[in-house]
């Protein structure tokens, strides 16, 4: 090779090395951001919050891009940009899959002191008879029902009474006129005693949430929660809703159930003393079922987003949870059931 040939190739080689370095410098942080945004405190940032809500589809998408990049690298017989992308994005896909595996998919529901259920009924898309069937099948003590009104919750209680099961329905509505038509209801077993809403506790912004406390002071504090979804125009209210949940998770005996419009990734960083959010932990994560998704209901649970939750304070321990797949009655959410023991 002549000196002229060498001098011509040197700039081209430098350009390839520069392109490789730039690709590495961009792709590694992006891959980390799409795998563990908590490292950048970005789990509730716009776009990242929406993407990380679907870890399994995200892992599949990253894997497909990695395969395409690997094919390009093999075809060009080069180890530059395409190969770098294949390695980095392949690692990100594997890491997302590994996180889901670690969170588990156990669906066992052993006997326990309390059974808690939550089902966003999508404004009446789920019939009261189906909610009653869920309660009877799992012998639920508390059922949080976002988007369920007074009429539907009373009908559920009536059906249950006909089966010898006594539950008291409660409903809360938003003070904001924009959302006043979207209520949140809860049914509480009469065996737990009389409950009254704590008006001083307030609500999540927008969509209604509420705190119910036992009148005689003996029993768990029950929270039915439904913060706004993380739409780009409502990110601030969404995060404020999650912080409200963190605040009501202050007492050890609290149990929170509902459509939180957030996964455990989004809740990260809101806890105290090692808890996930406030003083609460997530029942599904604690019971090795953190990968089962509840929304939307028309895709498999492994691909769905786990945004419906049962949270519990330090006075409780989670024995098991289950995303119920056999109740397909129109709602875009699947119900979740959790069993808790008092410590």
CA–CA distance, 243 with 37 (Å, rounded to integer): 19
Residues spanned by the domain of 138: 114-342
pLDDT at 338 over 60: yes
One domain for residues 288 and 149: yes
Residue 105 has pLDDT above 60, yes or no: yes
- Structural domains of the chain, count: 2
Which pLDDT score, from 0 to 100, does residue 327 have?
77
Band the pLDDT of 23: cuts 50, 70, 90.
confident
168 & 219 share domain: yes
pLDDT score of 111 more than 90 = yes
The sheet carrying 221-225 orders its strands as 195-197, 210-214, 221-225, 254-259, 308-312, 281-282
| 79 belongs to a structural domain | yes
Residue 32 has φ and ψ, to the nearest 5°, of -65, -40
Residues 119 and 99 in one domain: no
* % of the chain surpassing 70 pLDDT: 95
> Based on the domain organization, do 137 and 79 belong to the same domain?
no
Assign 3 a pLDDT band (cuts: 50, 70, 90). very low
Q: What is the C-alpha to C-alpha distance for residues 335 and 309, in angstroms, rounded to an integer?
A: 9
Classified as helix, coil or strand, 169 is strand
CA 174/CA 177 separation, integer angstroms? 7
Contact (Cβ atoms closer than 8 angstroms) between residue 170 and residue 212: yes
Residue 108 lies in a domain: no
Mean pLDDT for the chain? 93
**pLDDT per position as a tens digit, 28-37:** 999 999 999 9
- The contacts of residue 41 (CB under 8 Å, 6+ apart) are 269
* 168-226 tens-digit pLDDT: 999 999 988 788 899 999 999 999 999 999 999 999 999 999 999 999 989 999 999 99
């Amino acid at each position: 090779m002549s000196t002229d040939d060498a001098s011509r190739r040197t700039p081209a080689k430098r350009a390839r090395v520069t392109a490789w370095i730039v690709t590495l410098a961009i792709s590694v942080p992006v891959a980390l951001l799409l795998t563990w945004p908590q490292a950048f405190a970005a789990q509730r940032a716009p776009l990242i919050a929406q993407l990380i809500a679907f870890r399994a589809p995200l892992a599949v998408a990253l894997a497909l891009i990695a395969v395409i990049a690997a094919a390009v690298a093999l075809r060009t017989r080069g180890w530059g940009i395409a190969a770098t992308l294949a390695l980095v994005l392949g690692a990100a896909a594997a890491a997302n899959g590994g996180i889901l595996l670690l969170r588990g998919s156990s669906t066992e529901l052993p006997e326990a002191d309390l059974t808690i259920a939550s089902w966003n009924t999508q404004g009446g898309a789920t019939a009261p008879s189906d909610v009653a069937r869920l309660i009877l099948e799992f012998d639920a003590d508390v059922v949080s029902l976002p988007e369920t009104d007074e009429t539907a919750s009373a009908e559920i209680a009536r059906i249950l009474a006909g089966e010898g099961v006594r539950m008291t329905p409660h409903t809360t509505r938003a003070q904001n006129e924009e959302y006043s038509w979207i209520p949140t209801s809860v049914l509480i077993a009469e065996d737990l005693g009389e409950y009254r809403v704590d008006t001083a506790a307030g609500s999540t912004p927008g969509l209604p949430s509420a705190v119910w406390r036992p009148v005689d002071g003996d029993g768990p504090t029950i929270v039915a929660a439904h913060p706004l979804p993380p739409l780009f125009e409502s990110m601030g209210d969404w995060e404020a809703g999650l912080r409200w949940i963190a605040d009501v998770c202050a007492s050890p005996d609290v149990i929170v159930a509902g459509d939180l419009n957030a996964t455990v990734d989004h809740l990260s960083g809101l806890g105290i003393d090692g808890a996930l959010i406030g003083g609460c932990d997530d029942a599904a994560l604690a019971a090795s079922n953190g990968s089962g998704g509840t929304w939307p209901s028309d895709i498999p649970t492994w691909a769905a987003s786990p945004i419906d939750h049962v949270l519990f304070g330090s006075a409780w321990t989670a024995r098991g949870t289950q995303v119920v797949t056999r109740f397909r009655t129109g709602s875009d959410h699947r119900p979740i059931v959790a069993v808790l023991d008092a410590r």
